[in-house]
Structure 1
Amino acid sequence: MAYHAILFDIDNTLINSANLIAETLRTAAIKVENVEAPLEKYRQLIGQPGDKILRSFGVKDPETVLRYYMKDFTSNMHKLVYFPGIESLFEKLKHVDLKIGVVTSKNRFQFDQETKYFPMIANTKIVTTSDLTAKPKPSGDPLIYTIKTNGLDPSTTLYVGDSVYDMRAANEAKIDFAAAGWGALPDEKFENAKYLLKKPEDLLKLVSL
């Protein structure tokens, strides 16, 4: 399949961040509202917007919790790193005639804060954050929005992500999905994925170099 556009999720697809997000969300929920839930439950829900995750655990004021979370998370962003092979992958994709973008569950403020440490992502020409559509992932709306506003062809657009929420969004948008196995939970089921990738460079086999 010759793809003309590749769209990426960010957390635990490009950046090894899901564990820090889960830990910080959990800590914020406990400190602000004394709402406790197992860390592994938080980790399983990473890929959805933070307010939705918090509401699922009974948080009544997710906006306040998220403000606390963002302050704590921002102070620890220096701990985040790209997954091995991601920077090399992007460098090689520069030499391929295709469009590259990111579609994330982060809102624009969160995206701008985090990508201060990751200029490769910040400088991506196509960026869709969760506040650009009424429904976030796992709805297909963010991908559909991205396709329409950037003149992409769904039949030649691939979405790469680490969670079933990313897969469901791609399926609803009727575009191919590649599971980023390097960031996915070990027991994640990707029955509707077009590709199961073990490492970032596997993606290069799907494009013409």
Structure 2
Amino acid sequence: MGKTILFDVDGTLIDTEKTIIKSWQKTLKTVFNITPPAEDLFYVLGIPGTKAVKKYSTSSKQDQLLLDLWEENDHEMFHYSELFKNIEQILKKLKSKNIQLGIVTSRTDKEMQLVLDNFPIQEYFDTFITASKTKLHKPNPEPILKAIDTLNISPQNTLYVGDSIYDFQCARNAKVDFALAGWGAKDNPEFSKVDYFLKQPSELVKII
């Protein structure tokens, strides 16, 4: 195993599912007076909001309306979010082993800052690749390749840890190994093909 690990954020480091789904439901209720069940909204997990809103939006103007309101609701409901159990301890242990750590997320810079303002994890990471920093997004490999270029590392020595099918596809397209964060992942038959299936964050230390 190499010496660089890249992490997704939502569903991997932080349990934000309730925040994301509830804030999107509230947004749709306000704009369209509809309240889709949570399971119909799981598609938004792991992709940028700019892509997620297009399922309901009919124009670029409405895109922005939905994004602005969703962001407002997300901030209001962020108290539902929490670090997954033992995540900070694992990050600390990995850094003590001189392993480079990075973030590759579909969050924008502003959305990522909300996370860093609420959870003490910034000190563990050497780079933060957000949706604001790339033109293309998961499952396109550009976000991971951007991290690889920024850290001056090789794909062969890189592991990406994520919870969604978009994370897995992004890793595959970037030709890096992928570890599924089983504690935050939804069932998907494609996950039978991942390089590593982790049931708990502590298992990450065992495979490096």
Query: Scaled by the length of structure 1, what TM-score is found?
Result: 0.91
C-alpha displacement of 1:56: 2.1
1:72-97 Cα deviation digits (max 9, x unpaired): 21122233111112111112112112
Relative to 1, partners in 2 of residues 1:205 and 1:111: Cα closer, same or farther, differing over 3 Å?
Answer: same
**For the Cα contact (< 8 Å) 1:158–1:176, is it kept in 2?**
yes
C-alpha displacement of 1:123: 5.8
Structure showing the higher helix proportion among its residues? 2
In structure 1, the partner of 2:106 is 105
User: Which residue identity lines up with residue 8 of structure 1 in the other structure?
Assistant: F
Relative to 1, partners in 2 of residues 1:37 and 1:162: Cα closer, same or farther, differing over 3 Å?
Answer: same
In 2, distance between residues paired with 1:19 and 1:59? 26
In 1, distance between residues paired with 2:52 and 2:186? 17
**For the Cα contact (< 8 Å) 2:160–2:176, is it kept in 1?**
yes
**2:126 matches 1:152:** no
In structure 2, the partner of 1:85 is 86
In structure 1, the partner of 2:8 is 9
In 1, distance between residues paired with 2:126 and 2:111? 17
In 2, distance between residues paired with 1:74 and 1:153? 36
C-alpha displacement of 1:132: 1.1
1:27-81 Cα deviation digits (max 9, x unpaired): 2123124465432121233001112112123454222112111112112223311
C-alpha displacement of 1:124: 2.2
User: How many correspondences in the alignment?
Assistant: 206
**For the Cα contact (< 8 Å) 1:74–1:114, is it kept in 2?**
no
**For the Cα contact (< 8 Å) 2:18–2:81, is it kept in 1?**
no
User: Which residue identity lines up with residue 128 of structure 2 in the other structure?
Assistant: V
Greater mean alpha carbon deviation, residues 108-117 or residues 33-42: 33-42
Cα RMSD after superposing both structures: 1.8
Relative to 1, partners in 2 of residues 1:41 and 1:121: Cα closer, same or farther, differing over 3 Å?
Answer: farther
**For the Cα contact (< 8 Å) 1:89–1:201, is it kept in 2?**
yes
In 2, distance between residues paired with 1:116 and 1:59? 34
**For the Cα contact (< 8 Å) 2:9–2:104, is it kept in 1?**
yes
User: Which residue identity lines up with residue 106 of structure 2 in the other structure?
Assistant: S
SS of the residue corresponding to residue 196 of structure 1 reads strand
In structure 2, the partner of 1:40 is 39
In structure 2, the partner of 1:49 is 48
Greater mean alpha carbon deviation, residues 94-103 or residues 116-125: 116-125
Greater mean alpha carbon deviation, residues 84-93 or residues 158-167: 84-93
1:129-162 Cα deviation digits (max 9, x unpaired): 0021111111111001111122011001000000
In structure 2, the partner of 1:94 is 95
Question: Which sections of structure 1, spanning at least 5 residues, go unmatched?
Answer: none
SS of the residue corresponding to residue 15 of structure 2 reads coil
In 1, distance between residues paired with 2:35 and 2:173? 33
In structure 2, the partner of 1:26 is 25
In 2, distance between residues paired with 1:33 and 1:62? 13
Question: Which sections of structure 2, spanning at least 5 residues, go unmatched?
Answer: none
Indicate the percent of aligned positions where both proteins have the same amino acid: 32
In structure 1, the partner of 2:184 is 183
Relative to 1, partners in 2 of residues 1:36 and 1:126: Cα closer, same or farther, differing over 3 Å?
Answer: same
In structure 2, the partner of 1:115 is 116
In 2, distance between residues paired with 1:187 and 1:137? 17
1:141-187 Cα deviation digits (max 9, x unpaired): 10011111220110010000000000000000000000000001145
